[in-house]
Amino acid sequence: MLLSFLQTLATAAVAAAGGWAAHAFASRRVRAARLQAEQLRANAHTRAVDQAREREEASTERVRRLLLEAQSRGAAHDTLRQEHALVAEQLDAAHAEMIEAAARTAALEAELAAAHHELSETEGALTLALARTGELEGLPAALRQRDGRIKELERLLAERHGEMDAERQRARHRESELKRLRDQLREHGVESRVTRIERRRARHAARPAEPARAPRPVAPAQTDDLKLIAGIGPVLQRVLNRLGVRRYQQIAEWTDADVERLSAHAIELRGRIQRERWAAAAQEQHRRKYGAAAPESASRR
């Protein structure tokens, strides 16, 4: 009986051990399957991370190329702006030189006219002296001296004309260079200040032009000292007087049409009236002299 009990207990133990072994084997298979699934998910995640890193590196490289290209275009744009400013300054300097050359030419022409007048007076004096006394000594030498002076003045005048022609050539060259720079700026999407000014002038020219007012005639006794206005010297004052401008009030009342008309009659005035603000200076001088401001032009109100 004890033996049968022990056999039964042994059989039960063997059965329990076999069930536990089967359970352990099944558990190991489940864990192996789970580990394999985790490995597959890890491999897929690693591939996704690698692909994302590659896309990020490609995006970084593209951004770097775009930055380099933008920096290159910015440098070219700054260079074009600097060249445009330099050419504009050169044009202003050439214009000032042309005005100065014109003033020197006018002075030489006046001196030449005076020399011709003096020569005619000398010839008259020579004729009178020959008729009265017949003395010829000294007069031919003076006449030759006058002739030499006239030839020298004519030579200087020809040189001044040559200088003015050269200045015109340089100005045309600078204008062509400025046009090239404007075209380059327009290609980069930049509109220069000079182009905007020219467009405004074109729109202004397209409008019906108002009749230009002639400067109000004044008596000589009512003349002001225009040289007190900055930018007006003795030469320009004579030019303005010749055009009928003698008082501060006339300059203060100038309209844009008056400025265009006066600039067309005298090359010395072109660009200087607005640049040197003659109208505002005339207002100030009128107030100082007469104690009240001159009437301002309606086009500048």
Residue 36, pLDDT above cutoff 90: no
Q: Mean of the pLDDT values across residues 68-95?
A: 79
Q: Mean of the pLDDT values across residues 268-278?
A: 89
**Both structure tokens of 157:** 């005048």
3-state SS, residue 225 = coil
| Cα–Cα distance list, 203 to 127, 190, 258, 263, 289 (Å) | 64, 20, 18, 20, 39
3-state SS, residue 266 = coil
Read off the pLDDT band of 156 (50, 70, 90): confident
Distance CA 115, CA 12 (A): 152
- Residue scoring higher pLDDT (10 or 45): 45
Read off the pLDDT band of 236 (50, 70, 90): very high
Confidence (pLDDT) at 286: 93
Q: Mean of the pLDDT values across residues 268-296?
A: 87
**Both structure tokens of 267:** 């090359």
Confidence (pLDDT) at 285: 94
Closest by CA to 103, choosing from 235, 238, 234, is 235
Domains and CATH numbers, the chain: 79-203 (1.10.287), 225-300 (no CATH)
Distance CA 50, CA 199 (A): 58
Confidence (pLDDT) at 24: 73
Confidence (pLDDT) at 212: 43
- Residue type (1 letter), 88: A
Residue 21, pLDDT above cutoff 90: no
Distance CA 289, CA 283 (A): 10
Confidence (pLDDT) at 297: 60
Residue 134, pLDDT above cutoff 80: no
- Residue scoring higher pLDDT (116 or 11): 11
Per mean pLDDT, which range of 29-38, 40-49, 86-95 is the poorest?
A: 86-95
Read off the pLDDT band of 278 (50, 70, 90): very high
Residue 214, pLDDT above cutoff 50: no
- Residue scoring higher pLDDT (208 or 118): 118
Confidence (pLDDT) at 242: 92
Confidence (pLDDT) at 174: 80
| Helical spans, DSSP H, in the chain | 2-132, 139-187, 193-206, 234-242, 248-252, 256-265, 272-275, 278-290
**With the C-alpha atoms ordered 228, 232, 234, 237, is the resulting torsion angle positive or negative?**
negative
Confidence (pLDDT) at 221: 46
- Residue scoring higher pLDDT (193 or 66): 66
Confidence (pLDDT) at 197: 59
Tokens 């005005």 sit on residue: 99
Confidence (pLDDT) at 7: 74
- Residue scoring higher pLDDT (184 or 122): 184
Read off the pLDDT band of 284 (50, 70, 90): very high
Q: Mean of the pLDDT values across residues 223-248?
A: 93
> CB of 171 within 8 A of CB of 101?
no
CB neighbours (10 Å) of residue 248? Answer: 26
Residue 296, pLDDT above cutoff 70: no
Closest by CA to 108, choosing from 158, 157, 159, 162, is 157
Which residues, at least 6 apart from 281, have a Cβ–Cβ distance to it below 8 Å? 229, 230, 231
**Both structure tokens of 163:** 């200088």
- 27-40 CB burial, b ≥16 within 10 A, e <16: eeeeeeeeeeeeee
Read off the pLDDT band of 144 (50, 70, 90): confident
